Structure 1
Amino acid sequence: MEEKLSLLLDFFITLTMGGLGFIVYYQQKKSFTNKLFLLFTISLVTWVNFNFFENWVKDESLAKIFLKLDFMSAPIGVFFISLFLINFPRPESRIALKKSLFLFAPAFLASSFAASDLIIKDVFFENDKIGFYDGTFFYLYALVIVGYSFFGLGVLSWRIRKSNKKEKKQMKLILWGFSIMLVFFMVFNLALQNYVSKVIFRVNTFSPILLIVITGYAIYKHQLFNIKVFSAQLMTLLIWVFIFLQFFFINNWMNYVVTSITFFIAVFFGILLIRSVKNEIDKKEELEIANNKLLKMDEIKSEFISMASHQLRTPLTSMKGFLSIMKKGVYGEVPESLNEPVRFIEAANDRLIMLVEDMLNVSQIEAGRMSFNFKKENVNEVVQEIFHSFTVMAQEKNLKLEISLAKRLPKISMDYGKIRETISNIVDNAIKYTQSGSVRMETIRKENVVQIVISDTGIGIDKKGFEFLFDKFARGEKAQEIKKSGVGLGLYLGKRIIEAHQGKIKVKSEGREKGAIFTVELPIDKK
C-alpha cells in the first residue's frame, strides 16, 4: 500500500507540475520568460521522476540506471532554473545566445561526466534503498550544482534591489521558493542520500512543487497571462488529475468503466470550458483594442477641430472688423442696394464665429485644456448685461423679455465670461424657439446656491427630447424645423462649463408647445 501511495503521489506531482508549466507557456507562447518556465518545469519533472524511481524499482540494475539519470538531469535542471531567474520578470531582459551557451557548458559537462564513473564510482543497496560511493569528480560536480544555484540567487538578489515595489514582491517570493528547494536538494541529494531512510529521502522529491507553485504565482502577479483563462485551465487540470488517479484504486471492471467514462466526460467538458473562457477573453480584448482605437481617433479629431478652429478664427474676426468699418463708411458710403447683403454677410459671419468658438471650447474641454478665470462676481450683473444685449432681438420677434433680480445676492466664485456665454446661449435658444409670448430671466437665492432661471412660452420639449438634450450635436426635430443653421453644441458646452463650476443645469417642460424652464445653479462659497 505504501509503494502504491508513493507511486500515486509521484503521478500527481508529475501531472500537476507538468500541466502548470504548459498552462503558463500557452498563455503567451512568445514570452521568453514563459518558455524558460516551461523548460525548467520539464527538467524538474524529469529529475523528480528519476529520483523517485531509483528507490521504487525492485531491479537493482534498473535502479542503477535511474540513479545515473538522476545525477545527469540535475545539472540541466539547475541551469534552466538559473536562466529563468536571470530573465524574470521582464522577457526583454534575456541574455545573449552566446552567454546562454557559455552558461550551459558546465551543466553539459557535469551531466556528461555523471554518465561515467567519475561522479558515482559505484552503488550499493542497503535496507531496500540505493546508495553510492563518490567518484573522482563528485565534489566538482557538487560545485557545479551549488555554483549554478548561488549564481541564480545572486543575480536575483541583485535585481531585487534595482526593481520597483511590485516586482520586488514577486522576485522575493521566487527567491524564497528557490532557496527552500536548494536546501532540500543539497541536504538530501548531495549529503544525506546514503544516510536517511527511503521514506525520509522521498521528502526531497516534493520540494520542487513549492518552487513551481510560487513561481507560477509570481508570473501571474506580474500579469504575464490572463487570470481567468489560467484559473479555468488549472482547475480543469486538477479535476483531470484527481479523476485519473482514481484508476490506481479500482478493484473491479465496473468501477473501471465508470471512472473511464467520468474521465472522458471531464476531458470533453473541460476543453469546452477552456475554449469558452478563452473566446470570451479574446472578444473582450478585441473590444478593448477597438475601443482604444476609437478613443485615439476621437483624440485626433479633437486635435484637428482645435487646430482648424484656431486657423478659422483669425480670418473670421478680420472679416467682422472690415464689415464694421465698411458700414461706418470708412471706405466710402455703402450703396443702399448693398445694405441688405452686407447685413446678411455680417450675420452669417457672426454665426460662423460663434460656431468656431463653440467647437474650440468643446475640443479644449474634452482634452482637459480649458482654462477658467475664477473671480468673485455678482450674478445679477451677468444676467442684466445679457438682458440688455437680447432686448432688440426679442423686440424684433414681438416677444416680451422680462427680468427679475433677487436682492442682496452674495458674490460667487465664477468665470464671468464663460457663465455669460452659457446663459446667453440659453436665452438665445429661448428667443429663437418662441414664436409668441414671453421669455423671462430671474435670479433666486436658495440655501447654498444661486439660481438663474430662464423660462419661455416656446416650442417646449417632449419626453424623447430630454434623452439627448445635453448631448453633443443634438437638436430636437421641432428646433430643426424652425432654425436649420444650429449644430447643437451650446447646451452640451454649457453643461460642461456649469459642472466645472461645481454647479448644475436643470430643465423642465410639460411637453410640446408648452414652453421650457432652464435652471442654472451655482454654489455659494461656504466661507
Structure 2
Amino acid sequence: MLLSEIANVIRNIPLKNFDLLSVGSTIAAIGILGFVIYITNRKSITNKFFFIFSIITILWSFFNYINYQATSPTVVLWLLRAVIFLGVWHAFTFFTFLYVFPKEKIYFPWMYKFLLIPLVVITSAITLTPLVFPSIAQLSSDGSVSKTVVANGIFLFLFVVAGLVLGGVSIFIRKTFKAKGRERKQHILILIGTVIMFSLLITFNVILPAVFLNVRFIPLGALFIFPFVAFTGYAIYKHRLFNLRTAAVAGLTFVLSIVSFSEIIFAQDISAVIYRSSVFMIVLIVSFLMNKFVQTISEQGEQLQVANERQEDLIHFITHSRNPNTYFRQCLTEITAGLRERWK
C-alpha cells in the first residue's frame, strides 16, 4: 500500500519540474565553482576567463531553458535570438580560456585584439537582427513554436562559432602534447571534459532533433556543458589554485542551495515555481558570500603567518647583531679556534 501511494505521488509530480531542478542544480554548480576559482586568484587570466565562461554558460542555459517553455511567437523569437547571441560569446570565452590556460598573465596578439574581438562583436550583434531569424514560421497544435524562418546570417554565426570551437580545441591539443608532468595531466582532464561535453551536445541537441525529431533534451543544455566545467575545475584544483578548505565550503554551499531548490518538483502552479526559484536565488547569493568570506579569512591567515615569520626573523637578527656580549663571545671563540689550529 505504501509503495503504491509513493508511486502515485511520483506520477503526479510535473515532469518539467525535474527539468527545472536539473538545470537549476547545474547552474548552481557552475556558478559556485566559477566564483570560487576566481576569488582564489583574481589576478590570474585563467581564473578570470573561467569565471566569465561560467557566467555566459549560466545565462545561455537560462535562456535556452526558458525558450522551450514560452508559447508566444514574439517572445520565442527574441529568446531564440538571445540564445544564439550568448552562443557566440560562449564560444569566444571557451576559445580564450583554452588559449590562456594555465597561465596567470599573457599578452594577446594583435590578431586577437583587432580581428577576432571585432568579428565576435559584429557577429553577436547580427544575431539580434532579422538577418539570422526574421520571424516564426509555424505553430504547433499546443501553441508552441515548431518552425522558425532562417536567413543567410546564420552562416556567419555557424562559421564564427565553429571556428572558435575548433580553433580553441586544436590549440589546446598542441599545448597538451608540449606540456609535461602534472601540467600535462591537467590538460588531459580538460580534454576529457571537452570530449564528453561535445559528445552530449551533438547527440542530444543535433542528432536527436535532426534525425529523430526529438527536441525533448534541448532545454537541458546546461547538463551537457557541466562535464567540461567539472573536469576543468578539478584540473585547476590540481594546479593548487585553491585549497581544500575552500573546496569543502563550496561543496557544502552547493548542497544547501540544491536542498532549498529540491522542493520545486512539488510546485503545481507558476506562483509556487517563482517562490521556490526566489528562495533558491537567495540561498545561492548567500553561498557566494560565504565562499568569499572563507576565502578572505584564509588569505588573512596566510598573510598573518608570513608576517609572524618575518617578525621572528627580524627579532632574531636584532638580538644577534645588537648584543655586544654575544658578538664578543663569537669573535673570541673564532680567534681561539684559529690559534689552536695554527699551533697544532
Alpha carbons of 1:50 and 1:279: their partners in 2 closer, same or farther (altered >3 Å)?
closer
Tell me the CA shift for residue 13 of structure 1: 2.3
Question: How far is 1:77 from its partner?
Answer: 0.6
Structure of higher RCO (CA pairs closer than 8 Å, 6+ residues apart): 2
Q: Deviations over 1:4-61 (max 9, x none)?
A: 2222222222222222222222222222222111111111111112221221123233
Q: How many residues align?
A: 315
Q: Deviations over 1:86-105 (max 9, x none)?
A: 11111123525873453222
Q: Which residue of 2 aligns with 1:87?
A: 100
Does residue 286 of the first structure (1) align with residue 303 of the second (2)?
yes
TM-score (norm 1): 0.51
Deviation digits for residues 300-332 of structure 1 (CA, Å, limit 9, x no counterpart): 89x99xxxxxxx9xxxxxxxxxxxxxxxxxxxx
Letter in 2 for 1:171: H
Deviation at 1:121, TM superposition (A): 5.2
Per the alignment, residue 239 of structure 2 pairs with 222
Match of 1:43 among 56, 62, 81: 56
Deviation at 1:145, TM superposition (A): 1.0
Larger mean Cα displacement after TM superposition, 274-283 or 177-186: 274-283
1:237 matches 2:216: no
* Contact 2:40 2:295 (8 Å CA) reproduced: no
Change (3 A) 1:104 1:187: farther
TM-score, normalised by the number of residues in structure 2 = 0.74
Partner of 1:209: 226
More strand per residue: 1 or 2? 1
> Given that residues 120 and 135 in structure 1 are in contact (C-alpha distance below 8 angstroms), is that contact kept between their aligned partners in structure 2?
yes
> Which structure has the highest helix share of the two?
2
Q: Does 2:119 align with 1:111?
A: no
State how far apart, in whole Å, the 2-side matches of 1:164 and 1:19 are. Answer: 30
Moved over 6 A (4+): 262-273, 298-301
Using the alignment, how far apart are the partners of 2:83 and 2:75 within structure 1? 12
Structure-2 residue corresponding to 1:73: 86
Cross-structure match for 1:198: 215
On the 8 A contact 2:204/2:217 being kept in 1, the answer is: no
- 1:189 Cα deviation after fit: 4.8
Query: What do residues 399-450 of structure 1 show as CA deviations (whole Å, max 9, x unaligned)?
Result: xxxxxxxxxxxxxxxxxx9xxxxxxxxxxxxxxxxxxxxxxxxxxxxxxxxx
Instruction: List per-residue Cα deviations over 1:476-508 (Å, max 9, x = no partner).
Output: xxxxxxxxxxxxxxxxxxxxxxxxxxxxxxxxx
Distance 1:264 1:121 in 2: 34
The 10-residue stretch of structure 1 (24-33 or 73-82) with the greater mean CA deviation from structure 2 = 24-33
Q: Which runs of 5+ in 1 are unaligned?
A: 305-311, 313-347, 361-388, 390-416, 418-527
- The offset of 1:292, in angstroms, is 4.8
Pick from 37, 56, 61 the counterpart of residue 69 of structure 2: 56
- Distance in 1 of aligned mates of 2:28 and 2:15: 20
AA of the residue aligned to 1:214? F
Deviation at residue 72 of structure 1 after TM alignment? 1.3
CA–CA separation in structure 1 for the residues paired with 2:302 and 2:115 = 40
Residue 278 of structure 1, CA deviation: 4.4
Matches within 5 A, 1:127-526: 128=144, 130-186=146-202, 189=205, 193-195=209-211, 196-247=213-264, 249=266, 277-278=294-295, 281-282=298-299, 284-290=301-307, 292-293=309-310, 352-355=331-334
Q: CA RMSD in A?
A: 4.2
